[in-house]
Structures are given as structure tokens and as C-alpha cells.
Structure 1
Amino acid sequence: MTIDPFIVSAALCAALAVGTCIWLAWTGIDPVRRGAQANLRRGGVTLVAATSGQSTTAPNVSLSALAKRMTPALVVRVLDRQHTLAGRPGAWTVEKLLTLKLSWLVIAGAISALILFSGPPPLLAMMTLGVFVVVYFLPELLLNSEGTKRNQQIELELADTLDQMTIAVEAGLGFDSAMARAAQNGKGPLANELVRTLQDIQMGNSRRQAFEALTVRTTVVDLRRFVRAVIQADAYGVSIASVLRTQADEMRLKRRQRAEEKAQKIPVKVLAPLMLFILPVIFIVVMGPAAINIVDSLSGM
């Protein structure tokens, strides 16, 4: 008697889903642990349990908190990092994405249990398992794509923004006022990040701390280089106008080089559709009448 490997894998998936749900329910109904975690987050000293053994504070556990507790810490950190790089979209918060992951995990477990009793072909089972994994990590993939687009927009806007800041500083404005003017006139992710940086400074953070937080929220190399130059100028007393002028010239040069690089890649990218779609049609149009005439001549002989 041979054991189908698909049945074994489906049984493992179903057992894992059921075990996870049981563990989630067990940890979710523990009032002492919930009260302790709530006190630690709040920083208070409220007693967790009274003498009778009952909790004095038993807050309701939301689905997002359960989803965060269920999801591995590494997945939560990666999702939070991707969410930060994507600009923290308000429509899709980390808690909402974790809740969707939890819902999909339960649905996938139920589907795996149904597949276990249906006995489909092994290839279809492997494809279904692959779909489960891809859908589970779909939020990370979408956030990564959005973060890449956002970084590209920042790279395009950086040179023009630095030009505006250079003109404002040379006209007599301070660095913070010039950055506020550029953020007010600009639109896009870079302007939003400059506004966030100014808000951090207004909240009491130093300029170094605010700009270091800016480098954490984005992965644009040029922006990080500009931030390092500003921090060094602020530390050593270098003229900020000369730093801005140098950085603006460098950013314009790099933007021109990136445009030239993309232009040089166009012939290579066009080659594949040219060979697959355009040249066969040209051959049919050119060689088609000649082939028809040859066939007619041979049939008339």
C-alpha cells in the first residue's frame, strides 16, 4: 500500500492550521497575560490579578491584536518595513494587512481540509499550495512594488527640489524655511517626507535626528547622500548654500545619466517584441504573394 504524498502534505497543512487556531484561542483568552501586556504598553502599575485570582483589567482583544500575536515576529517586521517604505498608506494599515493574513490562513486551512478528502492530482495540489503561499505574502509584494515606485519618484523630484532650496537659501532664507518652501511648492512623496522632517524638528528633535529618521523611511541612495552632507555641514559649520549647490549639480548630473542609461537600454528591450511579433508579420506580407504564385505555377504544370 502506497501513501500519496499529496495526502500527507494536505494533512500536514490542515493539522498546522487547526493547531494554530487552537494556540491562538488558548493565548487569546488568557486574561492575566493580556492585562500584563496592556500594563506594559501603557506604562502603568495596575494590578493584573486581584487576590481572588480575577483580573482587574480585562480589555477586549481585537482581531488585529490576535493577528499580530499569531503572525511570526519576522513577518511583522518585514511587513512594517515594507509599509514604511511604501509611505504608510492610510487605507491599508499594518493591522488591517495582518488581519487579512489571519483570515487567509484560516481559509487556506479549510480549503486544505477539503482538498484532503477530494484527492486531486499531485500537480494540481502543488499548484494550489503555491497559490496559498503567494496569496499569503501578497501584501509584502504589493508594498514592495509601491515602495519601488515611490523611490523612483523621489529620485526624479530630488534635483528640482534641491534647486528650489538652493535658490531660497541664496535669496536669504534659512535652511528650514527653504525646505518648508520647497515642500509647500512640491507635490509627491519627497514633499511629504520634507514636511514630515520639519514636523519632527518642530516636535523637539534635533536636525540630525530628524534627517536620520528620513533616511530610515526611504532607501534612495541620492537622498541619503544629501542627508549625510547636510548633517556634516551642520556639524562642522560649512556653508549650507554651497552644500546645496554642490548637491543640486550632482543630482542633475545623475538624473541625466539615468536618462541616458534608460535610452541605451531601449534597443535591447525592443529586440524581443521585434523578433516575436513584428518580423514574422513582415515576412508573411512580403513572402506571402510570392509563395502563392509559386504554388499556382506548380499546380498549373
Structure 2
Amino acid sequence: MDAAPPPGTTLMGMTATDFGTLLAALATLAVLIAIYMVMTVRDPMAKRVKALNERREQLKAGITASVTKRRAKLVKKNQTTDQMRSFLSNLKVLQDDQLKDAQIRLAQAGIRSKDWAVAVIFGRMILPIVIGGTAALLIYGVDFWPDWGPFKRFMAFAFALLLAYKAPDIYIDNKVQKRSAAIRKGLPDALDLLVICAEAGLTVDAAFNRVARELGKAYPELGDEFQLTAIELSFLTERRMAFENLATRVKLDAVKGVVTTMIQTEKYGTPLASALRVLSAEFRHERMMRAEEKAARLPAIMTVPLILFILPTLFVVILGPAACSISTAF
């Protein structure tokens, strides 16, 4: 038997008591961090409610103030954004229609600040220079991949330039698709609640506000849009403009159909509850059709994993013992 280590043996200058003390301290720190995270859970609706309240104050200032005061209250000076704007204006690359299109796409992605539109246009111009210059330095200057041929180097450099130019648009499009999918999922439930509110005698802005409160935690994106629409219905001079802003902020044909219905009911005085009930049934049927479509595609999607992973294993399990018996017999 090996002799026991003499008392006082150390490892990396620490005894067993020191190691135990260190582990106990780490465990205590982990428990404290866990308690702190549990005690400081933040309400996910608080940030959205704050943004909506700011939007309410901006709309109120825009209606009651003069043109000069309105500009002073609505436009928040951002030094970095102002520098980007002046730089792009000096290069004659900042166009109003391009800026408006970027603002609409950012609104569809859930980004309310208009300053980010200037940042997106600035990124489209700067990122190809930075990333393209880095790629050219690595490919042609440093010769980081010496075994690459001329065609492969050119394709890598062109791919880096294209990816750098499209990176802001790809990021925004991804956020727009995710947000639109989340809004589409909760739209039938929202229309059912709107029907109930309309039949209960609530006004349109009160109905939107009520639906936003009820569905805010289950569908935060939809609740955010409905709450903002309710605020705009309360403060804008034309109610049609509030509905059109909702259709602009959400890149979804179903929402455009709801907006068209709301505008027609406001204009011609047609019953709102019956129209919304028909739309809700149509959207639910459409959601069921999408689920059935995904279920119908499942056998075709599972064919490749079945052939590559399941069938070889099944053949080994079934034919393996027979092959071993045949080899032993011969």
C-alpha cells in the first residue's frame, strides 16, 4: 500500500483547508448571485410602457406646440448621429426617400428611434470599406492564405464586400420577419377581444387600449402596436392616419386588411363587430392551413434523415447477428 501523504501537504501552495474554504466562498457567491437575480426580476412591459408614454408626450407636443417648439421637443439631439448626417450630406449620399424607407423598415423591426436610419445608411457605406479593406489586406497584402488561386481570392474578396454592404439590411430583415411572425400569431385572439370590446360598447381607441393590456404579456409585439395605435387615436387630428401608421409599422397583409376594415367602418358607419368577427374567423382558418401545410411537408423533410441515420442503424441491428452467425459457420 502506498504511504499516506504527510500532513501539511500543499498543492499549488494551498492546503486542503484552503481549497475547502475557496470552494465554500464560491458556493456562497453563487447563492448570493442567484438570490440577487431572483429578487431583481424586471417587468418586461416596463420598458415598452415607458417608450409608449414618451410617444404620447411627443404626440401631445406635436399637436399643441408651434412648428419651432415642436421641432425642439421632437428632435433629440444626438451628437454622433448629427456627425453621421453631416458626413453623409457632405458626400451627397443622404437622400430623403432613402432615409424615409430606412425609417419605415426600422419601425417594422420595432426600432422607434429615427436616428438609427442615419446609422443604417452610414453602415452601408462604411462597412464595405472597413471589412473590404481588411479582407484585401489579409488576402492580397499579408497573403494569409497562400494556397488560394487568383479566382478564389477574388471571390472571397467580393463575398466580403457584398456581405459587408448587406449586413445591416440582413439584420433588419431578420428582425422584421420575427416580429411579423409574432404579431401574426396573436392577431386572431386580438380580433376576438376587439369584437367583445366593440359589442360591450367601448370606443375604438378604448378597445385597442384594452386589448393591448390584455395581450401585452402573451404577445408583447402586438400589444405594443395596439397601445401605440390607441395613443395615436387619442391625439392625432385624423383617426385614419393612426390606422395607416399601424399598417406601415407592421409588414403583414393581415394587419393591412384589419386597417382597411377599421377605416371603412369609421367612414361609412358599418357594424364593426361583424366585420371583425369575419376577419378573425378568416385568420384562424389561415393559421390552421399553415399548420396543416407544415404537417404535410413533414414526411418529405424526414426522408433525408431517415435514409442517412435511421435505416443504416436498422440494417446493422437486423443483419448484424445474421452476418456474425454466417461468418462463424464458415
Is 1:104 aligned to residue 127 of structure 2? yes
Name the SS for the 1:137 alignment partner.
Answer: helix
1:224 to partner: Cα distance: 1.0
Q: Provide closer, same or farther for how the CA distance between residues 109 and 214 of structure 1 changes in structure 2, counting only shifts above 3 A.
A: same
Per the alignment, residue 289 of structure 2 pairs with: 257
Is 1:206 aligned to residue 229 of structure 2? no
Query: TM-score, normalization: structure 2?
Result: 0.63
Per the alignment, residue 179 of structure 1 pairs with: 208
Q: How does 1:217-232 map to 2 (within 5 A)?
A: 217-232=249-264
Query: TM-score, normalization: structure 1?
Result: 0.69
Q: Retained in 1: the 8 A contact 2:99–2:118?
A: no
CA distance in 2, matches of 1:60, 1:100: 13
Identical residues among aligned pairs (%): 29
Is 1:87 aligned to residue 110 of structure 2? yes
Is 1:152 aligned to residue 184 of structure 2? no
CA distance in 2, matches of 1:290, 1:72: 75
Q: Retained in 1: the 8 A contact 2:176–2:251?
A: no
Query: Pick from 121, 126, 133: which aligns with 2:162?
Result: 133
CA distance in 2, matches of 1:113, 1:66: 29
Post-superposition CA distance 1:78-103 (Å, at most 9, x none): 6444322211166x933444454454
Name the SS for the 1:93 alignment partner.
Answer: helix
Q: Which moved more, 1:168-177 or 1:70-79?
A: 70-79
Per the alignment, residue 64 of structure 1 pairs with: 84
The one-letter code sitting in structure 1 at the alignment partner of 2:316 is I
Q: How does 1:286-301 map to 2 (within 5 A)?
A: 286-297=318-329, 300=330
Q: Which moved more, 1:224-233 or 1:129-138?
A: 129-138
Per the alignment, residue 223 of structure 2 pairs with: 191
Q: Retained in 1: the 8 A contact 2:194–2:211?
A: yes
Post-superposition CA distance 1:245-283 (Å, at most 9, x none): 222222222222222222222222222222222222222
Q: Retained in 2: the 8 A contact 1:166–1:245?
A: yes
Per the alignment, residue 172 of structure 2 pairs with: 143
Unmatched runs of 5 consecutive residues or more in structure 2: 1-66, 69-78
Q: Provide closer, same or farther for how the CA distance between residues 232 and 61 of structure 1 changes in structure 2, counting only shifts above 3 A.
A: closer
Per the alignment, residue 242 of structure 1 pairs with: 274
The one-letter code sitting in structure 1 at the alignment partner of 2:266 is D
Q: Which moved more, 1:248-257 or 1:206-215?
A: 248-257
Per the alignment, residue 63 of structure 2 pairs with: none
Q: Provide closer, same or farther for how the CA distance between residues 201 and 72 of structure 1 changes in structure 2, counting only shifts above 3 A.
A: same
1:118 to partner: Cα distance: 4.5
Is 1:169 aligned to residue 198 of structure 2? yes
Q: Which moved more, 1:163-172 or 1:241-250?
A: 241-250
Per the alignment, residue 75 of structure 2 pairs with: none
CA distance in 2, matches of 1:72, 1:235: 39
Per the alignment, residue 5 of structure 2 pairs with: none
Name the SS for the 1:262 alignment partner.
Answer: helix
Q: Retained in 2: the 8 A contact 1:68–1:76?
A: no
Q: Retained in 2: the 8 A contact 1:67–1:98?
A: no
Q: How does 1:9-24 map to 2 (within 5 A)?
A: none
Q: Retained in 2: the 8 A contact 1:79–1:140?
A: no
Name the SS for the 1:205 alignment partner.
Answer: coil
Q: Provide closer, same or farther for how the CA distance between residues 294 and 154 of structure 1 changes in structure 2, counting only shifts above 3 A.
A: same
Q: Which moved more, 1:263-272 or 1:69-78?
A: 69-78
Give the aligned CA root-mean-square deviation in angstroms. Answer: 3.1
Q: Retained in 2: the 8 A contact 1:64–1:98?
A: no
The one-letter code sitting in structure 2 at the alignment partner of 1:151 is S
Q: Retained in 2: the 8 A contact 1:63–1:99?
A: no
Q: Provide closer, same or farther for how the CA distance between residues 67 and 278 of structure 1 changes in structure 2, counting only shifts above 3 A.
A: farther
CA distance in 1, matches of 2:313, 2:107: 48
How many residue pairs get aligned? The number is: 242
Post-superposition CA distance 1:204-233 (Å, at most 9, x none): 232211111111112211111111111111
